[in-house]
Structure 1
Amino acid sequence: MVHYGNGVAADSIEAAAWVKAEASDPVGNCVEIARLDGGEVAFRNSRFPGGPALVFTRSEMAAFLDGARKGEFDRMTV
């Protein structure tokens, strides 16, 4: 099992199935995520698919999603 670190080139992550939110803007700009074999989750900018990816553990991802569901980050898009 391969573990990827933060800043890895997103296009070098083998077998990543990148997912983009249906709510992305009209030209497709969005954050894309992929679940990795080790259970981590990688994030990349859809405008730069080969650029760096941020990699988070399951617990980090769970904490982020919990905060997003509770609206803790809503002010980031204002």
Structure 2
Amino acid sequence: MYFLALGVLLALLKALEMGPVAAWSWWWVLLPFGLAVLWWAWADSTGYTRRKAMEKMDKKRLDRINKQRDALGIKRRP
């Protein structure tokens, strides 16, 4: 996501010809977009994206269980 935001910012600066980015080659300006594609391809192929999604779901589940236990007055598990 950071590569994408950086790419949009650099492309905007290049298009508006602002700052030192105006003198850069378009290859350097568009490089963050390529890096974002590589990052997403790596994250999907290694299972990083799915693992993070599962961790998020597990945390929500535990939070929900602990909230219900608190409401019932049952001690939480560590």
Question: For the superposition of Structure 1 and Structure 2, which TM-score range results when normalised by the shorter chain?
Answer: under 0.3
Q: Would you tell me which structure has more helix in proportion to its own residues?
A: 2
Normalising by structure 2, report the TM-score. 0.26
Higher strand share: 1
Greater RCO (Cα-Cα under 8 Å, separation 6 or more): 1
TM-score (norm 1): 0.26
When Rg is computed on C-alpha atoms for both structures, the one with the higher figure is 2
